C-alpha cells in the first residue's frame, strides 16, 4: 500500500479550508494522522514535546499538502501552560475545526502493581488535558459551524488487554468522557474515538520489551502471539488508522457521533 501516494483514499481537497490541531503528533499514529490530513488539504498544526521530530514532520507535511503547516512544543502534563498555547494558536493560526486528542500511553504491568500516584500523570496528559482543550475549542467550533473531535485511544475500552491495567483504566475513562460529551456538544460538532489494535508503532515495541522482561518470551514469540489473534494476519499500518481518523474529520462524517471505532484487523470478538 502507498496510502500517501497512488493509493491515497480521499480527495486532495477533502479538508481544504479546515484547520486540524493534532496532539502527540511527533510519531506513531499521531504523525501518520498529520500526514494523512495534510494530503487531504487541511492546515495542520502538530504538537508534541520533541522539537526536532516536530520540525522534521512539519517539513514533510509541506511536501504532502498545500495547507499551512505549523508546530508547537507542548507538554500535556503542564496544564497551566496548555490554555496559553491553545489561545496563541487560535490568535496566530486561526480557528481550529478538527481536534485530535492523543498522547503516549502509560507503562505496562498488572494493575495491582500500580500505586495511586501512578495514575496522576497519565490521567493528566490524557483525560484532563483533553477536557481543557475541548472546553477551549468547542465554542470556537460552534461559532465556525464545524467541529470534529477525535480521541486516539485503544481497543481495551471494549476488551481489556492483559498486562496494561493502568492503560485499560485510562482508555475506558476517555471513552466514557467522549460519549458523555456527544450528548452535550453543539449539533455541528461531532466527537468520536478511534481504537487502534496491534499497530506497527514504537508503543507496541515498548510493550513487547515489557512482556519480554516479565515473561522471558522472545520478541518473535510475542509478535507471533499478537498476529495469531488478528484475522488479517499482520500488524496494522499507522496510516490505515490515520485513514479512519481522517474520514471522521470530514464533512461527510457528520452523522457519526459518539462512536468508538476499532481499527484492529478484526481482533475484537464482540459485535
Determine the average pLDDT of the residues in 174-198: 97
Phi, psi of 137 (to 5 degrees): -95, -25
Determine the average pLDDT of the residues in 173-197: 98
Burial of residue 228 (CB within 10 Å: 0-12, 13-18, 19+) is: exposed
Q: Residue-wise over 22-58: b if at least 16 C-beta within 10 A, else e? A: bbbbbbbbbbbbbbbbbbbbbbbbbbbeeeebbeebb
Give the pLDDT confidence score for residue 212 in this predicted structure: 77
Give the pLDDT confidence score for residue 155 in this predicted structure: 96
The CATH H-level (homologous superfamily) assignment of domain 19-197+236-263 is NAD(P)-binding Rossmann-like Domain (3.40.50.720)
**pLDDT confidence band for 191 (50 / 70 / 90):** very high
Q: Is 203's pLDDT higher than 80?
A: no
Q: What share of the chain is helix, strand, coil (3-state, %, to 5)?
A: 50, 15, 35
Q: Which residues contact 224 (CB under 8 A, 6 or more apart)?
A: none
Q: Are 253 and 22 in contact (CB under 8 A)?
A: no
Give the pLDDT confidence score for residue 222 in this predicted structure: 82
Percent pLDDT > 70 in the chain is 100
Answer left, alpha or beta for residue 94, where phi above 0 means left and psi between -120 and 50 means alpha.
left
- For the entire predicted model, the pTM comes to 0.95
**pLDDT confidence band for 271 (50 / 70 / 90):** confident
Average pLDDT across the chain, whole number: 94
Q: Is 135's pLDDT higher than 80?
A: yes
Q: What is the strand order of the sheet 147-152 is part of?
A: 69-73, 43-48, 19-23, 98-101, 147-152, 189-196, 260-263
Give the pLDDT confidence score for residue 162 in this predicted structure: 86
What is the C-alpha separation between 155 and 196, in angstroms, rounded? 6
Q: Give residue for cell 506513531.
A: 28
Q: Give residue for cell 474529520.
A: 249
Determine the average pLDDT of the residues in 213-224: 83
Distance of CA 23 to the CA centre of its chain: 7
Q: Which residues contact 252 (CB under 8 A, 6 or more apart)?
A: none
Q: Name the DSSP class of 231.
A: T
Grid coordinates representing 168 are 485499560
Q: Are 260 and 180 in contact (CB under 8 A)?
A: no
Grid coordinates representing 3 are 496510502
Burial of residue 7 (CB within 10 Å: 0-12, 13-18, 19+) is: exposed
Amino acid at each position: 500500500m502507498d496510502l500517501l501516494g497512488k493509493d491515497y483514499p480521499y480527495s486532495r481537497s477533502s479538508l481544504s479550508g479546515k484547520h486540524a490541531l493534532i496532539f502527540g503528533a511527533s510519531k506513531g499514529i499521531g504523525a501518520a494522522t498529520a500526514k494523512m490530513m495534510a494530503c487531504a488539504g487541511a492546515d495542520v498544526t502538530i504538537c508534541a514535546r520533541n522539537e526536532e521530530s516536530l520540525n522534521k514532520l512539519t517539513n514533510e507535511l509541506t511536501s504532502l499538502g498545500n495547507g499551512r503547516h505549523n508546530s508547537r512544543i507542548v507538554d500535556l502534563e503542564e496544564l497551566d501552560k496548555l490554555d496559553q498555547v491553545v489561545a496563541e494558536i487560535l490568535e496566530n493560526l486561526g480557528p481550529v475545526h478538527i481536534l485530535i486528542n492523543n498522547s503516549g500511553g502509560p507503562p505496562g504491568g498488572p494493575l495491582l502493581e500500580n500505586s495511586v500516584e501512578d495514575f496522576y500523570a497519565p490521567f493528566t496528559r490524557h483525560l484532563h488535558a483533553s477536557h481543557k482543550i475541548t472546553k477551549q475549542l468547542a465554542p470556537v467550533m460552534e461559532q465556525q459551524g464545524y467541529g470534529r473531535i477525535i480521541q486516539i485511544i485503544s481497543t481495551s475500552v471494549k476488551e481489556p488487554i492483559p498486562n496494561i491495567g493502568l492503560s485499560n483504566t485510562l482508555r475506558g475513562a476517555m471513552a466514557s468522557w467522549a460519549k458523555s460529551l456527544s450528548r452535550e456538544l453543539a449539533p455541528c460538532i461531532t466527537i468520536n474515538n478511534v481504537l487502534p489494535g496491534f499497530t506497527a508503532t514504537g508503543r507496541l515495541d515498548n510493550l513487547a520489551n515489557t512482556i519480554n522482561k516479565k515473561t522471558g518470551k522472545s520478541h518473535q514469540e510475542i509478535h507471533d502471539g499478537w498476529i495469531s489473534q488478528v484475522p488479517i494476519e499482520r500488524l496494522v499500518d499507522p496510516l490505515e488508522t490515520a485513514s479512519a481518523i481522517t474520514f471522521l474529520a470530514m464533512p461527510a462524517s457528520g452523522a457519526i457521533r459518539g462512536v468508538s471505532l476499532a481499527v484492529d484487523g478484526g481482533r475484537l470478538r464482540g459485535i
